[in-house]
């Protein structure tokens, strides 16, 4: 028996939403029955979202536009799309040729239809989809990023999610990214909590990547102890399209991030690369689902988690290969490091293969720091705490090294080093 929506959420359902009327109406009806997911739902059994259920959040009343992120990413001439507590702050007026940025509220009906019709379509029966349906019912804010066919946008397009500026605010923004044939673009999510107020963002990004186009999508969950976020990214790929995803989660109280990648045209390829580093009482969770719906497609997935203190890391990676999708190569690895007795990591690969000509592999490891490596470093004179720091940073670095923007890579390495400097790395050995 499902609980239905909590009252505070029910009363917050808006009269008008950004979704086309019929989609919004259906979503509204569905969420009233679906409610919020809970521990009884298979997909949520490791991730307690009580903090959201009991959150009593309200929609933002509108905040001042003078809020700036505390963190400056080292990006070259970025185009900033700023959301403060989910409220879109407007499109920049210097978009380069080939790029069109439109506030969701100003988009035409067909565009809004696309923004609210991701592939694969969220299922009414699946409680896992309750949050995306809720977003559909609630979304009023958002942005549409259109890259014209054959255009290459060199400037990174940065979506700034600045959460927690006002008290107990929730937001349900929706973003549509469309790449025309042979287009290229990089979208960076800069995720930061700007105040110390609890906040919940339930955001959805829908990307469609036309033939031979390539989208690089980098998500950086940065500081902010009080952030609650449920984030969903859809990407559908046509023939020879590329979707490269990098997901780095360092901050937040409870972050659930989900990827649905529909590899739907032959020759298409996706990379899903991720690093999560929960500490304190953080819960950092990523679920990925890759659907190989066309023959001759490939995917490469590599996730790492490093859990310290009483932190929890969760990774679930599903790969579905449809019946007619032959000659698929799909690789997944999930390597996890536990630094303290109270930390926990749950890692689950899930392969569903209906085709017969498939090369598919997965591997998950969970362990502590390699004692042999630690001893080796110490025999070179490196003190224990520093040796631990080197190994942890090295473990993370292998993921960071895959990020294609070199300035971002270097910046993240330094940030990681600083972060490890704050942690007590000396006293955990219990060999």
Partner 1 sequence: MALLEIKNLHAEIDGKEILKGINLSINAGEVHAIMGPNGSGKSTLCHVLGGRDGYEVTQGTITFDGHDLLEMETEERAVAGMLLGFQHPVEIPGVKNIYLLKEALNAKREAQGLDEIDTFTFMKQVRELVASMDMDDAFLHRGVNAGFSGGEKKRNEILQMLLLEPKLALLDETDSGLDIDALKVVSEGINRMRGEERGIILVTHYQRLLNYVEPDFVHVLYKGKIIKSGDKTLAHRLEAEGYQEILEEAS
Return residues touching partner 1 (CB under 8 A): 370-373, 375-384, 386-387, 390-391, 393-398, 429, 431
3 state SS of 151:
coil
CB of 417 to partner 1, least distance (A): 11
- Closest CB to partner 1 among residues 353, 382: 382
With left for phi above 0 and alpha for psi between -120 and 50, is residue 212 left, alpha or beta?
Answer: left
Q: For residue 326, what are the CA distances in angstroms to 293, 352, 355, 357, 396?
A: 9, 14, 6, 5, 34
CB of 367 to partner 1, least distance (A): 14
75 contact partners, CB below 8 Å, separation of at least 6: 156, 158, 188, 405, 407, 408
- Closest CB to partner 1 among residues 290, 387: 387
CB of 384 to partner 1, least distance (A): 7
- Closest CB to partner 1 among residues 298, 413: 413
- Closest CB to partner 1 among residues 323, 401: 401
Gap between the Cα atoms of 390 and 316, Å rounded: 27
- For 250-323, strand residue ranges (E) read 254-263, 269-276, 283-292, 298-307, 312-321
DSSP string, 401-412: TT-S-HHHHHHH
Could you tell me the two tokens for 20?
């086309």
- Closest CB to partner 1 among residues 64, 381: 381
328-338/142-147 β-pairing: unpaired
Provide the 10 A C-beta neighbour count for residue 375.
11
Gap between the Cα atoms of 32 and 9, Å rounded: 10
CB of 368 to partner 1, least distance (A): 13
Gap between the Cα atoms of 135 and 127, Å rounded: 14
Q: Are 144 and 104 in contact (CB under 8 A)?
A: yes
- Closest CB to partner 1 among residues 242, 304: 304
Gap between the Cα atoms of 393 and 330, Å rounded: 27
- Closest CB to partner 1 among residues 150, 371: 371
CB of 278 to partner 1, least distance (A): 19
- Closest CB to partner 1 among residues 32, 402: 402
Q: Are 227 and 252 in contact (CB under 8 A)?
A: yes
With left for phi above 0 and alpha for psi between -120 and 50, is residue 77 left, alpha or beta?
Answer: left
3 state SS of 67:
coil
- Closest CB to partner 1 among residues 7, 372: 372
87-88/79-84 β-pairing: antiparallel
- Closest CB to partner 1 among residues 123, 365: 365
CB of 427 to partner 1, least distance (A): 14
CB of 416 to partner 1, least distance (A): 11
99-103/142-147 β-pairing: antiparallel
């Amino acid at each position: 028996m499902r609980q239905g929506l909590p009252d505070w959420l029910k009363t917050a359902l808006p009269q008008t939403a950004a979704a086309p009327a019929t989609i919004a109406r259906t979503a509204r009806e569905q969420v009233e029955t679906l409610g919020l997911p809970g521990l009884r739902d298979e997909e949520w059994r490791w991730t307690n979202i009580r903090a959201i259920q009991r959150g009593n959040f309200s929609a933002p009343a509108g905040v001042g536009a003078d809020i700036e992120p505390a963190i400056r990413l080292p990006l070259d001439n970025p185009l900033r799309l700023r959301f403060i507590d989910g409220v879109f702050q407007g499109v920049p007026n210097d978009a380069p040729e080939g790029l069109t940025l439109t506030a969701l509220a100003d988009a035409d009906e067909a565009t809004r239809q696309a923004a609210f019709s991701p592939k694969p379509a969220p299922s009414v029966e699946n409680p896992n989809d309750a949050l995306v349906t809720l977003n559909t019912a609630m979304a009023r804010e958002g942005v549409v990023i259109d890259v014209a066919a054959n255009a290459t946008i060199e400037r990174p397009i940065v979506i700034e999610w600045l959460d927690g500026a006002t008290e107990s605010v929730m937001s349900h923004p929706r973003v549509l990214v469309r790449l025309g044939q042979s287009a290229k673009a990089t979208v960076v999510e800069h995720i930061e909590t700007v105040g110390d107020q609890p906040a919940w963002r339930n955001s959805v990004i829908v990307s469609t990547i036309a033939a031979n186009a390539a989208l690089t999508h980098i998500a950086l969950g940065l500081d902010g102890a009080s952030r609650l976020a449920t984030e969903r990214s859809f990407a559908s790929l046509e023939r020879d399209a590329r979707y490269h995803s990098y997901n780095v989660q360092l901050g937040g109280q409870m972050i659930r991030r989900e990827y649905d990648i529909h590899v739907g045209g032959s020759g298409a390829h996706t990379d899903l690369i991720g690093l999560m580093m929960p500490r304190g009482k953080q819960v950092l969770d990523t679920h990925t689902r890759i659907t190989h719906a066309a023959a001759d497609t490939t995917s490469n997935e590599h996730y790492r988690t490093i859990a310290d203190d009483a932190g929890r890391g969760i990774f679930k990676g599903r790969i579905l290969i449809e019946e007619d999708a032959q000659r698929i190569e799909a690789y997944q690895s999930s390597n996890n490091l536990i630094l303290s007795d109270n930390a926990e990591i749950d890692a689950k690969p899930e392969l569903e293969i209906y085709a017969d000509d498939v090369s598919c592999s997965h591997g998950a490891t969970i362990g502590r720091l390699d004692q042999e490596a630690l001893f080796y470093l110490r025999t070179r004179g490196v003190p224990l705490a520093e040796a631990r720091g080197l190994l942890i940073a090295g473990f993370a670095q292998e993921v960071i090294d895959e990020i294609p923007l070199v300035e971002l890579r270097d910046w993240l390495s330094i940030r990681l080093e600083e972060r490890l400097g704050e942690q007590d790395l000396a006293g955990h050995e219990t060999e």
